[in-house]
A = this chain, B = another copy of it.
Amino acid sequence: MSTLRTNLLAAATGAALAYVLPAIYRRLRPSTAASTHAVRGGSSHVNVPHDELSRLVAACLEKAGTTPKHAELVASVLVYADSRGIPSHGVNRADFYCTELERGLVDGQAEPVVEKDEGCCAVVNGQNGLGAVCSARAIQLAIDKARTLGVGWVVCRGSNHFGAAGFWAQQALREGLLAFSFTNTAPFMVPSGGSTRAVGTNPICVMAPAANDSYQLDMATTTVPIGKVEVMDRLGKGLPRGWGVDRDGRPCTDAAEVVVGGGLTPLGGYAETAGYKGYGLGMLVEVLSAVLSGAAVGPNVPSWNAHRGKPMDLGHCFIVLDPKRFADGFDERLGSYLAQMRGLPGQVLVPGDPEREYERAAAAKGVQLHTNVAKSLRALAARLGVDEKLVPAPLAQLDATAVRGSLMEREGSGLAKK
């Protein structure tokens, strides 16, 4: 219980500004009495050293059919999310990523191709390879352009899930640059006035460097990720008004209705609280990520499952800006602004504060994984024949017998578009 409450609180306080697909929390969803007990009982988390966890995940991905270099990159993207308190985009996805590679749904050997490159603009084709591989190429290109031209604006098509949007913006942030990272996703948002899912959870991520500080926004353009709806369902609680709609597009506080036939509201909720703005922002992300690049757009993006029968063809957009091209002293001004906001009466945070707290804890105590995720990862490594020596001690000590059937056996129905 305390775990769920912690998860929920973390999410509610903005720690998990994540754009999540149902597979994520479904993974955590107890399907047996044993796992229910595990979730509600005592030691529901384990902590694993960052590098050991990354090595294990990379070993799994390599066994599933990608190159050592790509495996290492993808592992670092997934572990980054867990370190930041965004478990929805963390190593719990390793299982699904591996299945996609094994079934050839994603080409683990593919290298992205720069299809167009002129001045500060470029288009990268991911060739249906790993989303992280395509994104790494694109963000580096955008960084290089920003360094020489002030701005780099690179879009991707033919890509797949790229992990937490923040990972990519952070590459530029580390070099003192301001960066935007966007992606479209499988549809989960029901547009204002509509009744069908037609827009992804489409994150907007922006990071900007400040003196000894930074601004780090990473948010879905839906009110909440589907995972939060599923957590409320597990707790047997009704949803707060404004999170979801039923199959007819009507306001709905029943989690099951929202997950199965309904969908998520845009940020803002229903019309009276300006949900049409979040819908407009969701569409903006489609325009930047998919319309500019020629990727699949909105309602045409397939559901993210193993039965999709065609490439996801996701689109991303990375915009990198060198703030030194503008008024001198950007870093100092932003630092002062962030400090001023934190100093306001009350409990005012700035975007990125909760994630930094998680990162400090992960660095000190190891990356925190939900026990079920840890067990699944251990089972995945065994199934793929990963050398047992690569299994970190905290995972090796776990009783993995309670691990449920694989995600691929279970998912599908809830993910299907209405």
Contact = CB atoms under 8 A, between A and B. Distances in A.
Contacts of A271: 12-14
Interface string A280-300: 110110110001111001111
A223 B270 CA distance: 11
Nearest to A14: B276
A298 B334 CA distance: 11
A284 B121 contact: no
A333 B294 CA distance: 8
Interface string A249-275: 100000000000000000111011110
Given A120-B150, A196-B344, A287 B327 contact: no
B337 A298 contact: yes
Copies per complex?
Answer: 2
Contact-residue size bin, chain A (C-beta under 8 Å from the other chain): 35 or more
Interface of A: 12-14, 17, 115-116, 118-121, 123, 149-151, 153, 155, 157, 178, 191-196, 198, 204, 206, 208, 215, 217, 219, 223-224, 240-243, 249, 267-269, 271-274, 276-278, 280-281, 283-284, 286-287, 291-294, 297-300, 321-323, 325-330, 333-334, 337, 340-341, 344-351
Contact of A272 (B118, B240, B281): B240
Given A269-B273, A291-B334, A123 B278 contact: no
Given A272-B240, A323-B292, A284 B217 contact: yes
Contact of A326 (B155, B178, B198): B155
B192 A348 contact: yes
A322 B345 CA distance: 44
Given A193-B346, A196-B345, A348-B193, A327 B277 contact: no
A284 B95 CA distance: 35
Contacts of A283: 215, 217, 341, 350-351
Contacts of A278: 267-268
Name, among A13, A271, A292, the residue most crowded by chain B CB atoms within 10 Å (CB to CB): A292
Contacts of A276: 13-14, 17, 349, 351
A224 B240 CA distance: 20
A342 to B, nearest CB: 10
A119 B327 contact: no
A222 B194 CA distance: 23
Contact of A121 (B150, B157, B340, B345): B150
